[in-house]
Amino acid sequence: MTTPFAPAGVDYAESRLHELRKTRLVMVDGNLTANSETTEGGSSARVFDKGYWGFASTPAMDDEAVQKVAKKATENARTMCRFGDQPSLDIPSESHQGEYGFNGRPPLPQSEAIELLEGLNAHCREKYPTLKSASFMMQQENHEKRLATSNGSDGLSTINRSAFYIIFSAEDKDGRPVELMEALSGRGGLSDLQLSMAGLEAKMDELHGHLMAKCNAVAPRGGKQTVIIAPPLAGMLAHEAMGHPCEADLVLGGAVTGNLVGKPVASELVTMVDLANTYEGEELMIPVYIDDEGTEAKDVTLIDKGILKSFMSSRETAARLGIPATGSARAYTFNDEPLVRMRNTAILPGQSKLEAMIAGVEDGYYLLQTGNGQADSTTEFMFGITLAYEIKNGKIGNAIKDTTVSGTAIDMLKTVDAVSDDMHWECNGYCGKKQPMVVSLGGPALRAQLHLGGE
């Protein structure tokens, strides 16, 4: 694609063609309730002129549409200039060229997908007769973006991810509904998840065991407790409570992290990174090689052995903070503007064994799953806990009823006294920040102090 650059004198311009394809199937108690395939695409342009941005998009991808949005973006930027001069801003001018595709397995035929769902439902009816409901959902999405910029960037980037969800519900000892979900996710399409019946049966057995334990759950004690945070939950906490406050646009908006660079924000056992595309030689679930501003994507060490080090940035936020552009600007659809977004965010593994971490807790809790949560730019958070167990004398005990954890990420991370040596990655959810975004989360298990809600 040749970029239809704006008239001479414009500081910077970019042009993007973006197509998004999605597939989704849902079966509830043997009934296929959703079966959809959607495609949306279009072209967009963004121009930076005299301190102001102009953006335009259209749901068309031909040459005429590309030219049209470039012209409109330029007009929008120049209209904004009527508000007066802005201080000069030296936007990073580095460029990157490259094409990054994905070669996975052939797509899973729809007939095979439905046959698999029917087989799983039949298995559940036969093996788990006490279940009140069994639901299965499979979905995949593919993003393909062609980008070019006025400073020489030209790239093709693709993001492919898929997820499979198992949702079981039953009644507890008091007749109240209890529900749990297990999600499998990975890079590529559904066929790349290798959804074998044997593998899924093992996952269902594990989920059913947790559900039965939860049907006889006991109430947790409220207050500050010693907890083992399982890897999926540790990844979520890292993303929500510390990742967002390390996004440069939020730093510029007043996030507490803005004044903490070079200062301790966690235990020295904690190193947290936002990885661009690979980890230990393996491509990650959401590999970003070139972002939606044409910047080469780079790893960002956010916390190094407890010390806050740096932030994720776009071209503009990098210029405003005087830091490098990290290739973290991404847009979800063609009519979204790029924002600073996480890619593959994780706390890195430590040296402890999970079994030893649990054995070292005399009286505490093992937190496995979260259902929802929120965090803000002060790093304060609250998350719902949907699956957790007591730890008594170093051993796993009873499941506990749904509860919450709350606090500030900085205070919590400073109490970490053990980090497991394993690593878990998942990419089944979306990150919300004005627009959704596909991301992956990673982490080991952590032992720390957290405030639990009680009855």
User: DSSP characters for 433-445?
Assistant: ESEEEE-EEEE--
Residue among 377, 380, 249, 378 nearest 311 (CA): 249
E strands of 214-334, at which residues? 223-229, 272-275, 278-279, 282-283, 300-304, 307-308, 329-330
**Other C-beta atoms lying within 10 Å of the C-beta of residue 411:** 16
pLDDT value at position 86? Answer: 85
- pLDDT 10s per residue in the chain (455 long)? 444 445 567 889 999 999 999 999 999 999 999 999 999 999 999 999 989 999 999 999 999 999 999 999 999 999 998 888 888 888 899 999 999 988 889 999 999 999 999 999 999 999 999 999 999 999 999 999 999 999 999 999 999 999 999 999 999 988 999 999 999 999 999 999 989 999 999 999 999 999 999 999 999 999 999 999 999 889 888 898 899 999 999 999 999 999 999 999 999 999 999 999 999 999 999 999 999 999 999 999 999 999 999 999 999 999 999 999 999 999 999 999 999 999 999 999 999 999 999 999 999 999 999 887 788 888 999 999 999 999 999 999 999 999 999 999 999 999 999 999 999 999 998 998 899 999 999 999 999 999 998 76
**Which pLDDT value is given to residue 4?**
47
Q: Hey, how many other C-beta atoms are within 10 angstroms of the C-beta on 31?
A: 9
Report how far residue 237's alpha carbon sits from residue 379's, in angstroms, rounded to the nearest whole number. Answer: 10
Give the tokens for residue 172: 């507890």
pLDDT of residue 87: 83
In angstroms and rounded to an integer, the radius of gyration of the C-alpha atoms of the chain is 24
Q: How does DSSP classify residue 257?
A: G
Question: How do strand 272-275 and strand 344-347 relate by DSSP bridges?
Answer: antiparallel
- Per-residue model confidence (pLDDT) at position 84: 87
Q: How many CB atoms lie within 10 A of CB 446?
A: 31
**Encoded amino acid at 438, one letter:** V
Q: Cα(125)–Cα(135) distance, rounded to whole angstroms?
A: 12
* Tokens of residue 389, six digits: 């167990």
* Dist. CA 382–CA 385, nearest whole Å: 10
Q: Which of 442, 365, 445 is nearest to 405 (CA)?
A: 365
Cβ–Cβ under 8 Å, residues 92 and 318: yes
**Global model pTM greater than 0.85:** yes
CA distance 378 to 237: 14
The predicted pLDDT at position 1 comes to: 45
pLDDT of residue 7: 53
Note the pLDDT of residue 374: 80
Give the residue range(s) of CATH 3.30.2290.10 domains in the chain: 12-215
| Closest alpha carbon to 235 in 367, 340, 332, 325 | 367
- Going through 153-222 in order, the beta strands assigned E by DSSP cover 154-171, 177-187
Q: Which residues contact 5 (CB under 8 A, 6 or more apart)?
A: 13, 70, 150
Please tell me the predicted confidence (pLDDT) of residue 455: 67
The architecture in CATH of the region 12-215 reads: 2-Layer Sandwich (3.30)
Q: Taking CA 341 as the corner, what is the angle to CA 376 and CA 439, rounded to the nearest 5 degrees? A: 100
Do 18 and 157 form a contact (C-beta atoms < 8 A)? no
The DSSP annotation for 109-155 comes to PHHHHHHHHHHHHHHHHHH-TT-SEEEEEEEEEEEEEEEEETTS-EE
Parallel, antiparallel, or unpaired: how do β-strands 133-149 and 52-58 relate? unpaired
**Nearest residue to 133 (alpha-carbon basis) of 253, 223, 31, 258:** 31
